Each structure stands twice: as C-alpha cells, then as structure tokens.
Structure 1
Amino acid sequence: MDRDTYAKSFAKRRDGEWAEMFQWVPRMYRAAASRLEKLERQAERQFPGVFDRLEQERDAAGDTIPTWCWLPVARVQQVLADHYAHRTTKASGATRQGLAVMAAGDAARLQAIGAWRSAGRHMVNIHDRTLLELREAGDRMPADIPQRWPLHGLYVVSEAPNGALGAFLHLEWNELEQRAELRIAPDVAPTASLDRIPVQPLHLEGGTVTEAARRTVLSFQAGVDTVLGTETLPDISPGSAVDDAARMIAKKNAFWVAAADWLASDRPTTFDAAVLAGNEPTADWPPAKAQDTGRAPVLWLAGPAG
C-alpha cells in the first residue's frame, strides 16, 4: 500500500468504520500527521532543499559511520555552515557563543527530523499500561541500545486533548570522541513549531541515566570551552551546579530512555494501526527498509507481549 492510500485509512470520512473503542486512533493519526507535516515544511522553508543535501551527505559517508546513526550532528552542522549560513537562527545582540549554540540547535532539530524522514516516517504509540510501567522504570542506562535500535529515527506519539503530541528518538555518533548518544527531541508545544523543539543528548555510558546526564553536562561545558578558548575545572561534588543539572536532566528524560530501551527490545507486540480499519499491514515491525512513496507517516501500536 502506498502512502497516499495508507493515509486514507485514517480519513475523517471513514471514522464510522472504526470500532468505538478505537475511535481515538484515526483522530490521533490525523493530528500527528498534520503536526509533523508542518514541522517538515517549516524546516524546508528555513533551509530550502536541506533534507536532499543531508541525504547526499549520508550517502557520501557510507560505512564510515555506524549503520544505526543516520548522520552525525556535526556533519549536519557543516552542511548548514556550507550552504545555509545566512539562514541559521540568529538573535540580535547574541554573543559568539550564543550564535554557536543557536546554530547547533538548528542542526540538532534537523538531525531529529531527518533521521525520522529517512527511516520512512514511522510513528509509534505505546499502550497506556506500558507507559505506566516505563514511568517507573528507574535510573538504568541501557548502553547497548545501538545494537538493537530498529530504525534511524522514531516519533513516539500520544493522544492529547488538542490532538497529538510526541517526541523524536534517534541515535547520534560523535565521530570526534567515538561515542554513541541517545537523542530525545520532545514535540510538545501547543502548536507545531520547529524552533520550540529542544533536543536533549544523553551519552550511552555510565550505567545510570544520572551518570550519563552528568557526563553529557561535562561534555557540553568542554564544548563551550573549545568555542571560547577557555578552560573550566567543573565542580562535580554532590549539590554542585553540575550535579544539580545532571539530576534534573535525568529526572526529565528517564522515561524516554526506558521507552527507547523497550522499543528496541523484543518485549513489545507491535502492529500497523491501519489493520484496525480492515486494511492489510504495510509491513512487519520493524520495517525492513524505508518506504519512500508519498509523505504520509505510518502509525504503529505497541503494547505488552501477549
């Protein structure tokens, strides 16, 4: 089934064909698909042709980067510097450090959306019962996610009072430091807005989310020092600014780490939501390769095994 035909499965005129207990599914699909389309259009309006350029960069990279990483963010940033320097986000009176942070933010958001697009525009909704379990998953950092990661990028979507909200999940490979990261990009603004998507990196090391967050904070500070030509000796003792920041990041993102771990495991039962409307599934989970016919995303429902 091509993407245009697929999207028609969730059209409003077909809502009556869905069982009452699943009426929320087509509503959520339409809201999420509309939201994601707006984000893609905003990205392409600010950076015309950028995703084609990034795909060319990915093809050129070949096997020099791990298969589980779509394109390292440093390479995305280089494409912006080479072709879109006049279009990167600016702010009046911003310092050199501030401009560098804004440019890095543009690259991180494009990486999140680009990885999702390149993988085939797949959305995953996690069952409510599993959501509750994941929120209580604790502080463990599953460093082996790259060996299990199903697609370059996923969009985890949930029903919301005004439609749908979600988060992009993807993996980053830091070529300079030879390090893997999980990247979490929540898309939760009331209205879809590219510049309101924060991207939180977390080093896939350290054993716990808190320790991974601490290493991430220290790495960010080292990056700032490199840009400014300074040298900081950070205080990492309990109660220090670094410790407080790490604990805040861990608390905010532990759920997403647990969700990524769960989605990359053999624990979920995952199926194409269009089956509920009487259609044939587009593919088994995880899809063997990206489908590039049309722009409409595919929605998968993931629940506990059995």
Structure 2
Amino acid sequence: MDRDTYAKNFAKRRESELDGQFRWMPRMYRAAASRLEKLEKQAERQFPRVFDRLDQARDAAGDSIPTWCWLPVAQVQQVLADHYPHRTTRAPGATGSGLAALAASDAARLQAIGAWRAAGRHMINIHDRTVLELRKAGDRMPADLPQRWPLQGLYVVSEAPNGALGAFLHLEWDEREQRAELRIAPDVAPTAALDRIPVQPLHLEGGTVTEAARRTVLTLQAGVDAVLGTETIPDISPGSAVDEAARMIAEKNAFWVAAADWLASDRVTPFDAAVMAGAEPAADWPPAKAPSTGRAPMLWLAGPAG
C-alpha cells in the first residue's frame, strides 16, 4: 500500500464516483485525517522531535516491554522530563502537584498519539448496527485483551456534524505494578486540540468495567497520596465517593471497552476502505508493520465477520 498517495482515494472530486450511500466515507476520511494531522503538528510544536525521541526510547527498551504496549507512560514522562522540562502544559497558579498532574496528562496524550503513529496510523469505522449492539454490551471487562490486541494503537472514527470525531485506544503496561491497562482517549472537541484530549485508564482486571474502574480510582488516589505525602483510607462502601466515581467512569467508558473487545476478536472483519473509494489493492488486516514512508492515515470499515 503506497501511503504517500493513499489519501488521493478520498479526494473530494472522487465522491461522485461512489454510490450515494457511501459518499459519507471520503468526507469522514478527510475530516478525520485533518484532525489527526493537526494533533500531530500541535504535539510536535510543543515538543519538537518528541516522537523521534519516544520511538528511540521504545527501541532501547526492546523486549523489556510487552509487544502490545508501545511505550509505558512512565517512560514517556521520563522523556519529557529529560528533554522538555519547560514545555509541559501550564495553568495559571499551578505549582507542585498541579504541575506534576499536567505533565502526566501531556505524557498520556503523547502516549496515545504515539502508539497510533507507531502502529501505522490506522483509523477504523465500526458499522452502525454493531455500534448499537456494543452500546448494549453490558459491564464485562475483557482482561485477556493483551493476548488479542491487533495493533499497538487504534483510532476509532465516526461521522459527526463537523465531519468526524474519534477516540484513541491503546494498551498500557505499568512496569512498577506489573499491570496491563486499557487506555481510552476521546478526540471529540469541536476542533482538534491536543490539550482537550482526556485519557482514561482502566485496569484490565476485576471482571467488570465497574470493578476495573473502582480499582483504577483507588490507584489514582494512592498516586495522589504519594505525591502529597498523605495517607487516605478510602471508603469503598455503596454510595461512597469512590463507588460513585467508579460507576460514572464505567458508564462513560463501557462502550469503548466493548468496542476494544470486539475489535480484538474473531467476530470482526475490517475491510480496506480504499478499495471502495479508488483502485487500491486490498490490504490485509491486521497490517504486518507500519509503513516507512507516508503520513496519511489508512481507513478500515469494520463489520461482523461472515
């Protein structure tokens, strides 16, 4: 697949060549590709050459990191501390723990985009009928995701009134805790903005999304205590602040958990969208490796297998 010319398959002038029911596809592609390009450029302006340095850190880590994780967020934070100590996102009056939280947020966003880049810049659109099914998927947490995860980072893209919105999905390996996490980074601001991408970690344990969210909340509180030198005895009883936070996180992210589970299963057939939009030969899923040239994202249409 020639990624240098890939985007030409979705050029506006080619929309008339498609059946009416598919003319949304090139519009969505162009809008999403533009968003993603802006995010990459914003990251590279704020942190010049950051992805080169992060890729070098990943190469240096080698087999010490599971193949399904691009680069643990702690190592991303270390690269930022070593090379960009004065370029982290700032907020008026923020000091100490506040600045540390902002630096951690920068690292989490760069990890999400970096994993997507390193995997080959793949966007995947889930069929509307499947989206409806996934919204009813329930509370199950697929703890075995690392054994099935197809690419280090994905961008799940959907049509939107302003063209396209999406979310980065990738897996994190917490080296200190020896724990796997699913990380969800929605890209839904009206215009692409690096500092408006939140990143929600969810421990891949606990059996349910709610229990995974509860364990995640407790870990985050323990991290705050470590920074502040405090000790919090959490109340995890029904109706407590921890319980309510976990339920809110679970409700907000259950769809993305179900989507990640489905995309990593044998129940899905991703189809190279360029075949419908132009004359490209069909690529196979999952792609073998990231291309060495070309920055254009590749679009896949995902429907039920068979």
Q: Calculate the TM-score normalised by the size of structure 1.
A: 0.99
Determine the C-alpha separation between the residues in 1 that align with 2:277 and 2:45.
35
Q: Which residue of 1 aligns with 2:174?
A: 174
Structure 1 letter corresponding to 2:256: W
Aligned to 1:284, the other structure's residue is in SS state coil
Asked if structure 1 preserves the Cα contact closer than 8 Å seen for 2:18 and 2:277, the reply is yes
The equivalent residue for 2:201 is 201
User: Which residue does the alignment assign to 1:75?
Assistant: 75
SS of 2:276's equivalent in the other structure is: helix
Kindly indicate whether residue 68 of structure 2 is the aligned counterpart of residue 57 of structure 1: no
1:238 deviates by 0.4
The answer to whether the 8 A contact 2:26-2:277 is kept is: no
Moved more, 37-46 or 95-104: 95-104
Q: Following the alignment from structure 1 to structure 2, what is the Cα–Cα distance between the partners of residues 136 and 291?
A: 36
Task: Report matched runs for 1:109-258 at 5 Å.
Answer: 109-258=109-258
Deviation at residue 288 of structure 1 after TM alignment:
1.1
Q: How many angstroms apart in 1 are the aligned matches of 2:291 and 2:101?
A: 34
Give the conservation status (yes or no) of the 8 Å contact 2:275–2:282: no
Gaps of 5+ in 1: none
Partner letter of residue 180 of structure 2? A
SS of 1:167 mapped into structure 2: strand
Tell me, yes or no, if the aligned pair for 2:153 and 2:168 is still in contact at 8 Å.
Answer: yes
2:288, 2:38 → 1: CA distance?
A: 27
Is 195-204 or 291-300 further displaced after alignment?
291-300
Q: 1:217-270: per-residue Cα shift (whole Å, max 9, x none)?
A: 000000011111111111000000000000000000000000000000010121
Q: Structure 1 stretch 49-58 or stretch 84-93: which is displaced more?
A: 84-93
1:280, CA displacement in angstroms?
2.9
2:101 matched to which residue of 1? 101
Match of 2:5, SS state, is: helix
Residue 257 of structure 1 aligns with an amino acid whose one-letter code is V
| 1:279 Cα deviation from its structure 2 partner | 2.0
Q: How far is 1:45 from its partner?
A: 0.3
Taking structure 2 as the reference length, the TM-score comes to 0.99
Dislocated runs of 4+, deviation >6 Å:
none
The code of the aligned residue for 1:251 comes to E
Secondary structure, aligned partner of 2:185: strand
Deviations 1:54-112 (A, max 9, x none): 00000000000100000000000000000001000112211311111100000000000
Report the Cα distance in structure 2 between the residues aligned to 1:83 and 1:281, rounded to whole angstroms: 42
Q: Matched residue of 1:3: which SS?
A: coil
Cα distance in 2 for partners of 1:70, 1:44 equals 18
Partner Cα separation in structure 2 for residue 89 and residue 270 of structure 1: 37
Q: 1: CA distance between counterparts of 2:134 and 2:277?
A: 28
Q: State the 1:282 CA deviation.
A: 5.1
Q: Give the secondary-structure state (helix, strand or coil) at the position aligned to 1:58.
A: helix
Q: Cα RMSD over matched residues?
A: 0.8
1:293 and 2:293 are equivalent in the alignment: yes
**Post-superposition offset of 1:277:** 2.2
Supply the distance in 2 between the matched residues of 1:20 and 1:94 (Cα, whole angstroms).
52
Structure 2 residue identity aligned to 1:285: W
Output the CA distance in 2 between the equivalents of 1:291 and 1:301: 20
Query: Which amino acid letter does the alignment assign opposite residue 203 of structure 2?
Result: H
Paired residue for 1:261? 261
For the residues of structure 1 that align with 2:270 and 2:119, how far apart are their CA atoms? 17
Matched residue of 2:104: which SS? Answer: helix
Structure 1 Cα separation of the partners of residues 281 and 127 of structure 2: 19
- What percentage of aligned pairs have identical amino acids? 85
Aligned partner of residue 164 in structure 1, secondary structure? strand
